[in-house]
Amino acid sequence: MHGRRIIFRAMAAGLAAAMVFGCAATGPIRPFQDGESVKPETEGEIRLWHAAQRIESRLKKSGQIYGDPKLRAYLQGVVDRLYPEYQGKIKVEILKAPVLNAFALPNGAVYVNTGLIAAMENEAQMATVLAHEGIHFVNKHSALQRRNYHSTVGVSWAVALLGIPFLPDLISASSIFGYSQELENEADKLGYARLRAAGYDVRQAPKTFQHLAMEAKANKVPEPFFFSTHPKLEKRIEHFEALIAAEDRAAGRIQSETYQDHVANLRPEVLKGKITAGKYNAVITVLTHEDLLPLYGEYGSFYLAEAYRLRDQEGDLVHAVKAYEALASQQPDFAPVHKSLGMVYLKTHRHKKAADRFEHYLELEPNAKDSAFIRQYLKQARIGARLQ
């Protein structure tokens, strides 16, 4: 009787799997061969492309697209260099978001966050990200992931019928994430080959991940957004270093100055976004790195001081005042520094100094939006100074 029940269950499970599993398309999903072949082939791909168009339409309406045509054209040029046979098929867009992230949609749109662009030192590092994302599109990773999901659901139901209640969830999770990691490894490997073929200095590739790891550590998250389902960053850096070690030619295109020319305006905006989002540790980590601070130009030391002031941990205000004072002596007409110094002095009960700074701010910016608030602080500082 017991044996018969097992047979019954196994057959029912097999049927369930065949039914649910079998409903997913089973034909091969082949990578695109060139730009001419770029179009959705299967029903699943048609749906994915349609969903991608919807996402794009929503993103465009949301006002989140970073409107710098020159920067966009520059990044598009990098993609076209990496994927010359797909010109016009892989399109770069920039999203206004300080989070380090990039993603490729099934229709060939590659979205890169301003935060990620700002975190890169040069074109070669940015090209590492774009080469990786391009492989997701060219090798149809969305379609593969979709099929994997549908298949996993079928197996999970079949396992449930066999009477192992928690196994389906485990199978779903491990298979989806495992498969995703496989795809990510493929994107890394083939992206590296693209980087090399386009003449970039492949030694810059591991640095891309080092920047991401640094930011992740500062934000106290295990991995940055972009790599949340990716292989561990350390392993990834090791993998890239092994590839570079096997190279007979490592030097190549880096383009630090050209990159800096294009992203110089974006960097302070990203810093401001991070400060607004309360990511003080990330700002301090980046701006206390001696190689990175110069990339942020005159705004670097101001935002570093701002991050210290707002984080306000032990010793932070001392660092903040030091940076503000240095900046105020270099650029006495830069109004925000006087306002911030006034705030620090007011907070630390140095009322006379606070009043002086607020007065200076209002002289420089009499019609500032926050002038009413600053006048109130000035009044408070003057009262405090009289009482001292």
Binding residues vs other proteins (CB under 8 A): 5, 8-9, 11-12, 15-16, 18-20, 22-23, 46-47, 50-51, 54, 61, 149-150, 152-154, 156-157, 160-161, 172
**Ramachandran area for residue 314 (φ above 0: left; ψ -120 to 50: alpha; else beta):** beta
Q: Give 52 or 263: the residue with its C-beta nearer to other proteins.
A: 52
Minimum distance of other proteins from residue 106's CB (angstroms): 12
Q: Which is nearer to other proteins, 146 or 196 (CB)?
A: 146
**CB 269, CB 245: distance < 8 Å:** no
Residue type, 324: Y
**Which distant-in-sequence residues (6+ apart) come within 8 Å of 140 by Cβ?**
29, 30, 31, 32, 45, 106
Nearer to other proteins, 61 or 369 (CB): 61
**Neighbouring C-beta atoms of residue 105, cutoff 10 Å:** 22
Q: How far is the CB of 10 from other proteins (least distance, A)?
A: 11
- In the complex, the smallest distance separating the C-beta of residue 51 from other proteins, rounded to whole angstroms, is 6
Q: How far is the CB of 152 from other proteins (least distance, A)?
A: 8
Is residue 239 within 8 A of residue 147, CB to CB? The reply is no
Query: With 0-12 CB in 10 A as exposed, 13-18 as middle and 19+ as buried, what is 112?
Result: buried
How many Å separate Cα 68 from the centre of its chain? Answer: 18
Nearer to other proteins, 21 or 200 (CB): 21
- Minimum CB separation of residue 20 from other proteins in Å reads 4
**At residue 114, what are phi and psi to the nearest 5 degrees?**
-60, -35
Report in angstroms how near the CB of residue 12 gets to other proteins at its nearest.
Answer: 6
Q: Which is nearer to other proteins, 160 or 368 (CB)?
A: 160
Length of the chain: 388
The nearer residue to other proteins, 54 or 386, going by C-beta atoms, is: 54
Give 30 or 54: the residue with its C-beta nearer to other proteins: 54
Residue 86 C-beta: closest distance to other proteins, Å: 24
The answer for residues whose C-beta is within 8 angstroms of residue 173's C-beta and 6 or more apart is none
Q: Which is nearer to other proteins, 154 or 342 (CB)?
A: 154
Q: CB 45 → other proteins: shortest distance, Å?
A: 11
Name the CA dihedral angle for 50, 54, 60, 63, rounded to a multiple of 10 degrees: -160
